[in-house]
Amino acid sequence: MADKKYGEVYTEDEVVKLVQMAIESAMESLSEGKSLDEVQEGFTEGNIREVARTDIPRIFHPGEPLFILRGQDRRALGAVRYYRDHQWPNATQDHLDSIDDAVELFEAYRQVGHMKEPD
């Protein structure tokens, strides 16, 4: 995951918070008399990335190792099933149910037919 092509992982709640912060910032700037062009100038990709990295509470901590399986990966479903088989003795039922949900989603995606070997 250290490869830059994967970027950072943000939850939906984190993205919503980021958008809320952007709207609040824009509204505040407009109420202070800044023009729309001036407000838009502050919303560069670099500025947005910096706010995302520093100003929102994170579920996945920056630098935390993550292992992500994509639905299009031919081998992902087998890995999820393997993980499920090795979790059942000690895992809570909620955790097992969430793994079962993932298995169902991977199986459904497989039916769409957009499978490939991982790059």
What are 22-32's pLDDT values in tens digits? 999 999 999 99
At 84, give phi and psi (nearest 5°).
-60, -45
| Amino acid symbol at 36 | L
- pTM above the 0.75 mark? no
**Between the CA of residue 21 and those of 27, 43, 48, 55, 58, what are the distances in Å?**
10, 12, 10, 9, 15
At 3, is the pLDDT very low, low, confident or very high (cuts 50, 70, 90)? low
Residue 2 has pLDDT above 60, yes or no: no
> What pLDDT, in 10s, does the model give residues 42-94?
888 888 888 888 888 888 887 788 888 888 888 899 999 999 999 888 899 99
Domain ranges for the chain = 7-54, 67-119
